[in-house]
């Protein structure tokens, strides 16, 4: 998988993200194989998947390679790079670039479990070393 920063001018939609998750998990794969993974649960058809793949290729986050009469698709960005960029955008947009208010909001809304808190505390301890 070629490693590229997610320097998208255009964001990946929720539907496109579902396709990307399949590609990050299994690639290179055909449009039909992507459909096998997502069509039933999302009530999509193969033309829908092909449209989403085409958009992702245009956004330069998915590459293609010919395989006989079909194309195989593979991600051109790492999942971790994408998640990192989206996380940063969320913190910047909603919390003025500071992560602490995000955690405070999650704690106040009881969205953090005891396990989540323990994991965060362990990460903080590790970062301070």
Q: 0.75 exceeded by the pTM? A: yes
72 in a structural domain = yes
We report the CATH number of the domain holding residue 32 as 1.10.10.10
Q: Report pLDDT for 114.
A: 87
Average pLDDT for residues 47-75, to the nearest whole number? 96
Whether residues 30 and 63 fall in one domain: yes
Residue in 52, 51, 69 with CA at minimum distance from that of residue 17:
52
Q: Report pLDDT for 25.
A: 96
Q: Report pLDDT for 102.
A: 85
Range of the domain at 27: 14-77
9 in a structural domain = no
pLDDT above 90 (res 121): no
Q: Report pLDDT for 76.
A: 95
We report the CATH number of the domain holding residue 112 as 1.10.4040
Task: Quickly state the pLDDT bin for 4 (edges 50, 70, 90).
Answer: very low
- Residue ranges of alpha helices (H) inside the chain are 14-25, 31-42, 46-58, 79-95, 100-108, 114-128
- Read out DSSP for 43-61? T--HHHHHHHHHHHHHTTS
Question: CA 67 to CA 48: how far, in whole Å?
Answer: 21
């Amino acid at each position: 998988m070629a490693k590229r920063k997610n320097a998208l001018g255009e964001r990946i939609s929720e539907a496109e993200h579902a396709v990307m998750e399949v590609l990050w998990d299994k690639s290179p794969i055909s449009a039909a194989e992507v459909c096998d993974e997502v069509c039933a649960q999302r009530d999509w058809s193969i033309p829908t998947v092909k449209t989403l793949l085409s958009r992702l290729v245009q956004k330069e986050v998915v590459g293609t390679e010919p395989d006989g009469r079909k194309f195989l698709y593979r991600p051109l960005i790492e999942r971790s790079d994408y998640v990192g960029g989206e996380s940063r955008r969320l913190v910047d947009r909603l919390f003025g670039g500071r992560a602490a208010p995000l955690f405070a909001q999650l704690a106040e809304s009881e969205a953090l479990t005891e396990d989540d808190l323990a994991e965060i505390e362990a990460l903080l301890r590790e970062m301070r070393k």
